[in-house]
Chain A
């Protein structure tokens, strides 16, 4: 049986810009540059279907959409890819993607696998979702360390459920 898991404290390199600040509440998509609210809603449903972590709050997935939006604002090709993808998922069934049950959502996404638009959205979801300090803390990745003196005094060899190799044996 696993031990109770203490949440990690994670650090993003202090030199890097902060993650996007997405508003709480229903009008969260209003500040996006490229996506309108239906587009943002569809993409949010897609990311939650691709990577359905029960323990992660919606705000984290909204930050992924905000980073999609920034990528779309920076590149017309990427913007076009998102638009084509959302057209595809919304047109696959008689209902918009965000209104589909989980099983139908999965069917729609499986049908699109292998298309360039699917690959773009799936890869960028991985790129941004797991690059979020709140996700790092949830899954136990502590992140940037050099500004804290590394891990040399912070547990780099603290695993205690296996024998510690002795000098001469490693």
Chain B
């Protein structure tokens, strides 16, 4: 592997190797840009992964403490882990649903389309769907998304048959959806064997991740150096206010300072905002790139929830791909429903260990027992919808320091009335689908720890409205970029990864162009 010196100030330093950082690293490296990729987690391989829900979770998850406040259920159910992401080479792309949907056109113009909703900080994106579409095309090709480029859809499994029957009975539009999981061999990777663990540290390689696609290809260019177990703790800047180095701690606990031509944060919402806030200086007293006070604010996590239903006969929902189902009828913005924005309905399956844990944390007694004993006959259905940005929903630093001397993050989130109206509408829609397929009991499960982490370093058309411009570049620090979901201007409804990848490809093109022009 290529190695760069710590005092080599010609390299781009990327913090985080997930969907955003791992993709950007490859896309820059293949354009000849010299890149150092810092990843806090270990470099694991398919051989290391296990087909086990809890062991996989514990192997891959970012387990460092966080705190939570606000009215969201996660603050009560998961007070020290309200948000979920991974700490491993490949980041959260090692443990994600692989659902790949595009933003709808109206979602990128949320403020214009939804209007002035009290209590929200809605803005329009500084880019349009037309500008994003070519990069969605590139992302889908790179990721091998089903139902694009002639790739067949994932086949219907047991859980989908339930969802399909119910949705059809109600006249809804239902399919197995689009996934970065191979339905047939593609790009040197095999088709899924329907093992049910593709999304939990994939041992087969049928699912795209930066671990098994982008990072190896980036390394093969000879321009990329990957440093696993390198925990970034601070970003430094020079006298001119440009990012100049990243301070990180290696596996032996030794602190290093890697000089940089440009710095990219891609550590998922909480870590990227935390690092910016922690990198305060005399010149940036509120935190790096935080002159307008937006760093950490407008945090979004989607209106996410599941209904688990019991049927008279076996479903065996754990067999096969876990989220291969989609209903799109509720995605359009329809004020007649009583709320702004829309949601996607997706299939959801879990094994017994996590179904029991997330059915309703805190629930015990004979009623719980009577439900979970019927796991065999259980089906799951899920929604992800657009939540409203609010200035007070934010990542902040607490007084408690972690093992690296960086303040532990608090995540505050209050549900907006629009979120609650959508949540209510969604529970009824999910239940109706399962009832139409013959469900005898439906259980409304709350959201689990936030996995769609979005918006806390948002892009905006004007510096006073956000942290980043439309290329993901900090308004106040011209060689500082963000390549994760924290840069989204608003949340949209869909799972964020495809958009993170599309934006990273676009950002790589922009950065390489600026470098070639001598402007970066």
Residues of A within 8 A of B (CB): 1-3, 5, 8, 12-13, 15-16, 50-53, 55, 106, 109, 113, 119, 122-123, 125-127, 129-131, 135-136, 138-147, 149-152, 154-159, 161-165, 169-170
Contact = CB atoms under 8 A, between A and B. Distances in A.
Interface of A is mostly: loop
A56 B274 CA distance: 46
Contacts of A142: 316, 318-319
Interface stretch (B83-91, B195-203, B398-406): B195-203
Interface string B5-38: 0000000000000000000000000000000000
Interface string B355-368: 11100011011101
Contacts of A154: 319
B319 A155 contact: yes
Nearest to A142: B318
B162 A52 contact: no
Nearest to A123: B361
Nearest to B55: A16
Contact of B369 (A51, A147, A149): A51
B313 A3 contact: yes
A127 B87 CA distance: 22
B514 interface: no
Contact of B192 (A109, A152, A159): A152
A146 to B, nearest CB: 4
Interface of B: 50-55, 153, 155-158, 160-162, 164-165, 174-176, 192-197, 203-204, 312-316, 318-320, 351-353, 355-357, 361-362, 364-366, 368-369, 372-377, 437-438
Contacts of B162: 159, 162
Nearest to B162: A162
B158 A170 contact: no
Contacts of B376: 5, 8, 139-141
Given A52-B366, A162-B437, A156 B313 contact: no
Contacts of B194: 145, 150-152, 156
Contacts of A126: 356-357, 361
B320 A53 contact: no
A141 B313 contact: no
Contacts of B318: 141-142
A146 B195 contact: yes
A159 B55 contact: no
Given A141-B352, A155-B316, A169-B164, 5 more contacts: A2-B377, A130-B356, A147-B51, A156-B320, A159-B313
Q: What are the 3 A-B residue pairs with the smallest beta carbon separation, nearest first?
A: A140-B376, A150-B193, A156-B320
Contacts of B192: 150, 152
Nearest to B203: A146
Contact of B368 (A51, A119, A138, A143): A51
A20 B327 CA distance: 44
Contact of B165 (A141, A145, A163): A163
A147 B175 CA distance: 29
B369 A143 contact: no
A66 B438 CA distance: 41
B314 A140 contact: yes
A80 B268 CA distance: 34
10 contacts: A1-B312, A8-B376, A135-B352, A136-B352, A150-B196, A155-B158, A158-B316, A165-B164, A170-B160, A170-B164
B316 A159 contact: yes
A169 B318 CA distance: 23
Nearest to A102: B366
Contacts of B372: 130, 139
A12 B195 CA distance: 13
Nearest to B155: A157
B55 A139 contact: no
A143 B54 CA distance: 12
Given A156-B194, A165-B164, A170-B164, A151 B319 contact: yes
Contacts of B153: 170
Contact of A170 (B50, B156, B356): B156
